[in-house]
Structures are given as structure tokens and as C-alpha cells.
Amino acid sequence: MNICITSIGSATAVNLIKLLKAQTKHEVSIIGLDCNTFGYTSGSLLVDKFIQSPLALEESYINFIEHLIAKEKIDVLIPIHDFEIFRLSQHKLDVKMIIPNQKTIELFRDKLISAVSMHEIGITVPPIITQGEPIGSDVEKVIVRERVGVGSTGIRILHVDDYLKVAKVMNEDKEFAQGFITGDEYTVDVFSDKEGLPKLIIPRIRLEVKAGVATKIRIVHHSELIKMTEKILKKYPIPGFCNVQFIVNEKGIYFIELNPRYGGMSISSSLASVNIMELFIDHLVNYEPMSDYSEYMKLVKWNSVVTRYYEEMIFYE
């Protein structure tokens, strides 16, 4: 079975490569794509075959992928980057690719639209601040976010007075503002069947963050987060991987965003439960039936702490 993973310069892709190599049930050949040349990213040294690819924003990207699928006889394509998922969802490709439908991808791609959608189904979100409308007296700081963005890119945290100075020149088509919420940061990793029915819902709390990347987490059986995630996915079923981010404080639980892909630290949930890539191949590729949700949740090693370290590789040019 030929499995192709994109953006192998990312920690997310490297984690999936590690899980694929760790599983012994299926014989797979891993083909890795990245815009860097061979040897200039660790991921290129970890796959069975490396192919340099154009960026997803380039016009040639889709033609490149179509040609690659045919030439390399790709059975499964796993896109990693948000924009890759977005672009690929717009085309019908002759390959198995487990991603949500285009409408769902577009909804969660736009952080403002997704926040409004969550509010409509009864999920609490940080207050959305609209230009020209009064700001609640309980809002001390404002966070300005790009509507379409990855991670912390473009984020500004401003005192209310400073926000009012820049609000008039904000481009509401590209960015929006919410009340700034502080608290514990949780990510909920989810694996769902081909119909989008969750089989694993695993919350994890950030214990340590370096340069914006989680380096230490704890797996936590947070029943309210699990119920809230179930509610979201009942409304918006997502097959395969996704992760949902929340902030929890003494006032409640606040939805921040949903990413319809494997997360950068989602490997921690696999380490504390089952090898998610084995389930992925069993069910989503080979269509083997899955057990009940409760059976998989029994396998989670709750209260596990997962720490991350870096490992160097050398390429002799």
C-alpha cells in the first residue's frame, strides 16, 4: 500500500510517519512531499521515497498531485497543511483521501463563521466584537485574529482603548475581534469513522509551551469537553482526524477553533491509547468494521503525561 503524506517538513507529518512505521499490521510504503529539496528537512530522510512538490498556493499544484497519484500508484493521500486540504477538497482526485466535505472545510477555515456557528448550536465562544457596537464592560482586552489563518499568525492582543483606535481601519473581510479569554488551554483529539461518528475523543491540557508549540501535555478525562466535542461533531460530522481547541477557566468553557486534520501534538493521544494509523488503515482504507465508541475509550491511559524532545538528523550533500 502506497501512502503519500504532504508537508513532511512539519512535526505533524513526522508524527504520522512514526506511527505508520510503528504499526506492524499493514505493509506500507511512505511517499513524502515537501517544497524543500531532499535532505533539507528531516521528514525527507524518514520516508521510503521523497518527491519535491510545489506549494499548494501555486497554480501547478493540482496537476502535480494528479500526475503523482498516477505515476506513483498512490493508494492514500494524507494532506497535512490547512491550505492543502482546502485546495484538494475543491477537486475530485483518483485517490482515497479522508477529509471533510468542502462545505465543512470552508466553515471551519473561517474562524469568524465557525465561531458564529458554534454560538448558534449552544457552544460558548469568546464574545465577538462588531465594529460600531458597544463592548461589554467585562472585556478588558481584545484579541484580533485573521479569519483565515494557521496557529498564532496575525494575532494581536490589545487593551480596549488601543483596539478602538485600530478598529476603524480593520478589514472585516480578513480579520475580526473577540474578547480575550485566559485560562487553561485544551486540545481535544478526535478519530471518527467514515461516517464521521467519533470513536476516540481525547482531551489534553497544555502543561508547557515553547515558541508556540506544546512540548508537555497531560491526557485528561474532562467529561464536559468530551460532551461538547460530541455536540459539535453531531452537527458537523468529520471522518478521520480532527482536533478542537478550547480555553477553560472559572467562568466556563470557550470554543476557540476546530482543525479538520491531525494536530501537531496529536501523537500524544495515540501514545496514550492506540496507534491511530492502524485504525486509519483498518477502517478508513480497508473498510473493516469498528468497535463501539466505549470500547476504544477504555483503552485511553488517562492522566498520562507526554513530553516532547528534538532529534537531529544529518544529510551528506
pLDDT in tens, the chain (317 residues): 999 999 999 999 999 999 999 998 999 999 999 999 999 999 999 999 999 999 999 999 999 999 999 999 999 999 999 999 999 999 999 999 999 999 999 999 999 999 999 999 999 999 999 876 778 778 889 999 999 977 667 789 999 989 988 888 888 889 999 999 999 999 999 999 999 999 999 999 999 988 778 899 999 999 999 999 999 999 999 999 999 999 999 999 999 999 999 999 999 999 999 999 999 999 999 999 999 999 999 999 999 999 999 889 999 98
pLDDT digits (tens, 9 = 90+) for 246-262: 999 999 999 999 999 99
Q: If phi over 0 gives left and psi between -120 and 50 gives alpha, with beta otherwise, what is residue 89?
A: alpha
Question: pTM for the whole thing?
Answer: 0.94
Partner residues linked to 201 by β-bridges: 190
What DSSP state is assigned to residue 44?
G
CA distance 15 to 261: 13
For 275, half-sphere exposure in the C-beta direction (CA atoms, 13 angstrom radius) is 16
Is domain 2-97 classified as CATH 3.90.1150.10? no
CA distance 193 to 195: 5
* 3 state SS of 107: helix
What DSSP state is assigned to residue 96?
B
Partner residues linked to 2 by β-bridges: 29
Cell 508537555 locates to 216
Please choose, from the candidates 253, 263, 204, the residue with its C-alpha nearest in 3D space to the C-alpha of residue 231: 253
**CATH topology identical between 2-97 and 182-307:** no
Q: Specify the CATH superfamily of domain 182-307.
A: ATP-grasp fold, B domain (3.30.470.20)
Any idea where the domains of the chain sit in the sequence?
2-97, 127-179, 182-307
